[in-house]
Structure 1
């Protein structure tokens, strides 16, 4: 059975232009993103009279692409660190198990040689 994905149609406005976005995301999230982009575009245009709407949109895209790449690199770095930590934990667990086995082997050997459990040698 095919799962049906709910699609919302959300109207946003960026620098006076209206857009209808079809998305599975919630309406408030899309509206929030639209407001954020609108504010950035307006700020770029207000800061320099020679920046066109198209220029401001391209600059916004570049800013978002840069932020996205940085977050991807950060996530990759965290995944690598987690993998390293898991490998270290696995090695520590193996060493612990080996130490426990060696401890048990030495206890049995001590018992065979006449030692008692309290560490005293019988005379």
Structure 2
């Protein structure tokens, strides 16, 4: 199970959440699904340890809220990063245009300077 499977391959993965066994059909690699299950199981156990009288249903609702919150925040962060990257790309494009303009001006000034030096050399040669 060293690599990722193709999207068409369906794996049946047996997981255990709070002592209950579930079989998941998924196209994801077994190791990935087992990791998710372990993370969920640890979160459930943590909530149950802090609140021994809470129902399993309530624990699942709290877990779902936590994961939805994390998902929404990561989406917002991704949107901010995309916006920031777009701004950086725009700034880089403007800087590239400015650099090209400076290079053209530099080349123009060099040609002018070379022309002045040649005129100066010609005048010196004439004497």
Normalising by structure 1, report the TM-score. 0.82
Match of 2:15 among 12, 30, 53: 12
Bigger proportion of residues as helix: 2
- After the TM superposition, which residues 42-121 of structure 1 pair with which residues of structure 2 at under 5 Å, given as runs? 42-112=45-115, 114-116=116-118, 121=120
Q: 39-48 vs 8-17, which deviates more?
A: 39-48
Displacement, 1:100?
1.0
SS at match of 1:50: coil
Distance (Å, rounded) in 1 between the aligned partners of 2:88 and 2:7? 39
In the alignment, structure 2 segments of 5+ residues that lack a partner are 1-5
Displacement, 1:52?
0.5
Displacement, 1:80?
1.5
Displacement, 1:4?
6.2
Distance (Å, rounded) in 2 between the aligned partners of 1:99 and 1:121? 26
Normalising by structure 2, report the TM-score. 0.80
SS at match of 1:5: coil
In the alignment, structure 1 segments of 5+ residues that lack a partner are none
Which residue in the other structure is 2:31 paired with? 28
SS at match of 2:60: helix
Provide closer, same or farther for how the CA distance between residues 79 and 121 of structure 1 changes in structure 2, counting only shifts above 3 A.
farther
Compute the RMSD of aligned alpha carbons. 2.1
Provide closer, same or farther for how the CA distance between residues 107 and 4 of structure 1 changes in structure 2, counting only shifts above 3 A.
closer
Which residue in the other structure is 2:3 paired with? none
